[in-house]
Amino acid sequence: MIELWDVYWPIILVGLLIGIAVGYLLFRPRQRIILSSDTPVRPHMGVRPDMGVSPDLRVRTDQPPRVEGRGVAAEAARATGDVAGQLLGANVSAQLPTAGGDPDNLLVMKGVGPKLAAMLNALGLTRFDQLAGLSSGQVDAIDAELGAFRGRLKRDRIVEQAHYLARGDLDGYRQNFGAL
């Protein structure tokens, strides 16, 4: 038995180290993340009345957060819309669940002027949550229809701006894009 240990001690040591590493990975303490349907998730995302939010933004602080269009069915509709929209040349973004509701003022976003806002409205995009919910395929399809404004959605990070404004995260918007 001693001869066996003298010959195979490096292999036994490597096996022991691998066992310790696997045991640590399996039994280590993990961070518990609890997702909720309440927004804002973080304290800095709340919209306070003293922030001076303009009425043009239409940030709804008195209503519960919208959860429409964020489920598995909506994601499947977006994926199907990407494929069907490319094959049929149809504008399906207006048919998605997030297309209803009062329009937001798209002019508050950096890089969106009256002409681009009118073009987006003509394509059925009138709210921040619609822009925030666009997939990359939909952004490319919309970008192809913008003519002189081609490339503005990605260059000016319009979809990312819409994410902040759709959930009312004005502090995050100001940190990334400056004042409104």
- More confidently predicted of 31 and 170: 170
Q: Domain spans of the chain? A: 68-177
Whether residue 156 is predicted with pLDDT greater than 80 in this model: the reply is yes
End-to-end CA distance of the chain: 77
Note whether 149 and 117 are within 8 A (CB): no
Q: What is the mean pLDDT of residues 67-76?
A: 58
Whether residue 53 is predicted with pLDDT greater than 70 in this model: the reply is no
Q: What is the dihedral of CA 92, 59, 61, 33, to 10 degrees?
A: 60
What does 12-60 look like in DSSP terms, one character per residue?
HHHHHHHHHHHHHHHHS--------S-S-SSGGG---GGG---TTT---
Whether residue 15 is predicted with pLDDT greater than 90 in this model: the reply is yes
Q: What is the pLDDT of residue 16?
A: 95
Q: What is the mean pLDDT of residues 98-119?
A: 84
Residue 134 — φ and ψ, nearest 5°?
-70, 135
- What is the share, in percent, of the chain residues with pLDDT greater than 90? 18
